[in-house]
């Protein structure tokens, strides 16, 4: 690798703007930043998905306060599944 091939990823990431999405779930309004931290997202990927990994994925997107609010909502599981699919789709299209 020569010096001309060097890529400063720290500088490149600094140019990415936060991308917030608002949505309603269980009658509550939430806002998430889709430029999530790599570490927690990689830890979630290690779990292999499945129902047991749902809380870990939600913690990637939500602040502790919003996560607690989310847990208090009496919504059907089907609605939670739709929320999870939407979050993952939005993450994939967020140009991260």
Domain range list for the chain: 38-96
Work out the percent of the chain whose per-residue pLDDT is above 90.
Answer: 15
Q: Which pTM does this prediction carry?
A: 0.69
3-state secondary structure of 30: strand
Does the pLDDT of residue 50 top 80, yes or no? no
Place of tokens 């994925």: 57
- Per-residue pLDDT tens digits for 76-90: 888 888 888 898 888
Q: Which has the minimum average pLDDT: 47-51, 57-61, 82-86?
A: 47-51
Residue 15: how many CB atoms within 10 A of its CB? 6
């Amino acid at each position: 690798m020569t010096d001309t091939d060097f890529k400063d990823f720290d500088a490149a990431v600094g140019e990415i703007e936060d991308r917030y999405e608002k949505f309603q779930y269980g009658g509550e309004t939430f806002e998430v930043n889709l430029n999530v931290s790599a570490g927690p997202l990689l830890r979630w990927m290690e779990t292999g998905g499945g129902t047991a990994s749902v809380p870990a994925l939600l913690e990637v997107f939500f602040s502790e306060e919003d996560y607690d609010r989310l847990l208090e909502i009496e919504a059907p599981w089907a609605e939670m599944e739709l929320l999870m699919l939407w979050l993952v789709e939005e993450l994939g299209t967020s140009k991260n």
